[in-house]
Amino acid sequence: MGKLKWKPGTMLYPLPAVMVSIGDFENSNIITVAWTGTICTDPPMLYISIRPERYSYQIIKNKKEFVINLTTKDLAYATDFSGVKSGRNVDKFKTLKLTKERANEVECPLIKESPVNIECKVEEIKELGSHHMIIAKVLCVDVDEKYIDKNGKFCLEKSDLIAYSHGQYYTLGDRLGKFGFSVKKK
């Protein structure tokens, strides 16, 4: 059997499924985004890509800030719900019984149930077609202290992060090796 040629498309999987909180503490929303990633470490920068017709897009464009909240197995239902229901019609924090926490550097609320919250300031919006890429500088990272071990190491692997792949959500599987394991001296 060989490979079949398909039309060009977005087949880069798996992706992180994150909940992005926007607005301010009183008037906020959550949008699920799978098109996100790191673009630079110094200065720390990342991006999210959103369709401009989405309710959250204009809020991010006007406020110029947002928070990326990493998602876990326990947050899978909320992650999916926040991606299919519009904030125009639903208060997602209230409906999903998620806890708002004050951020350190932005007005947007953190989602307390998330193990990692990444506070971001918009630097640029690239209008690319169906989605606009929102490039942001990371101002602050908030981590849940329950994942810090006695030596001060952040054990993110204990949080049961989830990923999105071709229409499905998955928990992350077995660890295969540490960065550099392929060249480690024995």
Structural domain boundaries of the chain? Answer: 15-171
Higher pLDDT, 177 or 144: 144
Phi, psi torsion values for 52, nearest 5 degrees: -65, -20
Neighbours of 178 (CB within 10 A): 8
Within the chain, strands assigned E span 15-16, 18-23, 28-33, 36-41, 44-50, 65-70, 100-101, 110-111, 116-127, 132-143, 162-165, 168-171
Q: Does domain 15-171 have CATH number 3.30.950.10?
A: no
What pLDDT sits at residue 12? 86
pTM of the model: 0.94
Task: Say if CB 111 and CB 98 are below 8 A apart.
Answer: yes
Pull the structure tokens for residue 118. 């990444």
pLDDT tens, position by position, 34-91: 999 999 999 999 999 999 999 999 999 999 999 999 999 999 999 999 999 999 999 9
